[in-house]
Amino acid sequence: MFIYITRALPDVAAEMLARALPGARIELNPHDRNLNRAELIEAASGCDALLCTLADPLDATLIEDLGPQLKVIATCAVGYNNIDLQAAKNRGIAVCNTPGVLTDATAEVAVGLMLACARRFVEGDSLTRQGLFSGWAPLLHRGHGVYGKTVGIVGAGRIGKRVAATMKHGFGCRILYHSREDHVDWENELDAEKVELGELLARSDFVSLHCPLTPDTHHLLDADMLKLMKPTAVLVNTARGPVVDEQALVQALRERRIAAAGLDVYEGEPALAPGLSELPNVILLPHIGSATIETRDEMARMCARAAIAVLTGQEPPHRVA
Ligand code: DGY
């Protein structure tokens, strides 16, 4: 039995695999970087199980090139837009993800970005480090407050709902949301209001994106949609980069048509759109939504559990295909 791990995971994954599948060959990408297509095929072809990440583009051709032995793809992520589920299904390959365990961690980053953008933490840090803080002053480095403001949540899944609850209970915010489905119980609980995307953008002081990347959500926030936002508004994206037209966002931030953005994900990740990193009113994080020690350990365990289940003839948990 051959198991390939495309990027170093917390040790617990390999330990669980070795314990449950004695004699299995477990190999790990030895580099501190993602493998390119050719490298991945060379290293992993013939594997029975692939433990991968959201950075591996598992399209139909790549899945085929990995060979007929492949029985399970366990991705260390809740999002699976990088995997051709239909191609996996056609070949009888189970695909499993890691939902639930990263809700709190990702919500923390989204809320943190809202606060950091509104109160301009990163600009303030840099001003202080540069020795430009010459003493308290009434007009020094003012931002916008967060308490009692309107927060627009795009995508009312687990993370969107957790962010909404935090902003409602922690900061007394009014919650608007945009979602394909109704969430009546939750709406009542938070006194949230379901609205069309355009209305959400026009009314929100903070817009936080929590929808999956699908053909329908690609460039959901394009140049026209960004124009609907308030000039004082903050956009936060901890979902997937291509949900926003990043070049249009650079333009909107540069012209101060929106106040600021907090980004954890990028359209051409890890590359940034030209000009993005030069703007003072954007905070850029390296896709760390789920990057707590506790969460990443649990994500690794979930990947290992999925592979072990399939390779021992059981139905795996959290199967998406
Ligand atoms: C996910 O799980 O999809 C996240 O983006 C990883 O942090």
Dump the DSSP string for 204-221. -SEEEE-PPP-TTTTTSB
Evaluate whether 279 touches 257 at the Cβ level (below 8 Å).
no
Task: Supply 298's token pair.
Answer: 């649990």
Ligand 1 atom nearest residue 76's Cα: 2
| Dist. CA 22–CA 213, nearest whole Å | 38
Q: Ligand 1: does its nearest atom lie under 6 Å from the Cβ of 217?
A: no
Q: Ligand 1: does its nearest atom lie under 6 Å from the Cβ of 289?
A: yes
CB atoms closer than 10 angstroms to residue 298: 19
List the catalytic residue out of 287, 296, 301, 318. Answer: 287
Q: What is the largest CA-CA distance in the chain?
A: 68
pLDDT at 259: 98
List the catalytic residue out of 64, 187, 193, 269. Answer: 269
Dump the DSSP string for 126-168. HHHHTT---S--TTTT-----TT-EEEEES-SHHHHHHHHHHH
pLDDT at 135: 98
Task: Supply 168's token pair.
Answer: 């409602």
| Dist. CA 186–CA 66, nearest whole Å | 43
Beta partners for 96? 74, 319
Residues 6 or more apart whose Cβ sits within 8 Å of residue 220: 154, 197, 209, 211, 243, 244
Q: Among 34, 102, 295, which is best to mutate for testing ligand 1, by the most ligand atoms less than 8 A from CB? A: 102
Domain positions in the chain:
2-100+292-311, 103-284
Ligand 1 atom nearest residue 78's Cα: 2
pLDDT at 196: 98
Q: How far is the CA of 294 from the centre of ligand 1 (A)?
A: 14
Q: Is 269 a catalytic residue?
A: yes
Q: How far is the CA of 105 from the centre of ligand 1 (A)?
A: 10
Q: Is the full-model pTM beyond 0.85?
A: yes
Q: Whose CA is nearest to atom 1 of ligand 1?
A: 77
pLDDT at 242: 98
Q: Which CATH number fits domain 103-284: 3.40.50.11540, 3.90.280.10, 3.40.50.10490, 3.40.50.720?
A: 3.40.50.720
Evaluate whether 316 touches 96 at the Cβ level (below 8 Å).
yes
Q: Among 53, 58, 78, which is best to mutate for testing ligand 1, by the most ligand atoms less than 8 A from CB? A: 78
Q: Is 169 a catalytic residue?
A: no
Dump the DSSP string for 46-97. T-SEEEE-TTS-B-HHHHHHT-TT--EEEESSS--TTB-HHHHHHTT-EEE-
pLDDT at 217: 98
**3-state secondary structure at position 176:** strand
Q: Which CATH class is domain 2-100+292-311?
A: alpha beta
Q: Ligand 1: does its nearest atom lie under 6 Å from the Cβ of 102?
A: yes
Successive 10-residue mean pLDDT values, the chain, 321 residues: 98 98 98 97 98 98 98 98 98 98 98 98 98 98 97 98 98 98 95 98 99 98 98 98 98 98 98 98 98 98 98 98 95
Q: Among 7, 52, 54, 318, which is best to mutate for testing ligand 1, by the most ligand atoms less than 8 A from CB? A: 54
Q: Is 218 a catalytic residue?
A: no
Evaluate whether 160 touches 209 at the Cβ level (below 8 Å).
no
Q: Ligand 1: does its nearest atom lie under 6 Å from the Cβ of 272?
A: no
